[in-house]
Amino acid sequence: MLIGRKVPDVTFRTRVRDEAVGGPNPFRWQEMTSSDYFAGKRVVLFSLPGAFTPTCSTFQLPDFEKLYSEFQAEGIDALYCISVNDAFVMNAWGKTQNLENVQLIPDGSGEFTRKMGMLVAKDNLGFGMRSWRYAAIINDGVVEQWFEEEGFSDNCDSDPYGVSSPQNILENLRRKIAA
């Protein structure tokens, strides 16, 4: 992904709570576009291999959640976590994480991830096609900074995590402001 490139135009199928639906499971589909998420905002998008996976659930997502105010102080309007998982899975994961600050984006079909050039096979784990771990600062839909874990490959034996951590991204944001 090149800095300066616009993120792909994609429609995401989310599930939102709507009491008007009634019954024991009051959720309905809501389509959200790339423009809904990215237009007119400076955001951090981080992408990971799967909801409920250990590093993502124990470190990456909760750490972004905790550090939200520090991102705000560096001029970030929103934190988005995307994964090649459907809306039901992403919502269930979000519930276990008590999220207030990070918004989850379900890329169930992998279309956004594929168009970002970040789709990899994880058949070695029985996952199918998933996202390589990366993060980006996206300003009004345009990639401003890029944080990709090393070793982009199909069926990777390891799961590198560091470059796309919230701590590393914050450090970069602070360095840029200080420079």
Closest CA to 123 of 147, 153, 161, 101: 153
Indicate which residue of 43, 56, 76, 120 is catalytic: 56
Task: Tell me if 53 contacts ligand BEZ by CB under 6 A.
Answer: yes
Q: How far is the CB of 64 from ligand BEZ (least distance, A)?
A: 14
The residue range among 6-14, 51-59, 103-111, 166-174 that interacts with ligand BEZ, by the rule CB under 6 A, is 51-59
Which runs of consecutive H residues, i.e. helices, occur in 61-164? 61-66, 68-73, 87-97, 111-115
Active site residue 156: no
Contact 49, 131 (CB under 8 A): yes
Dist CA 65 CA 88 (whole Å): 20
- Binding ligand BEZ (rule: CB under 6 A), the pick from 56, 76, 78, 116 is 56
Active site residues: 56
Give the interface with ligand BEZ as residue ranges (CB under 6 A). 49-50, 53-56, 125, 159
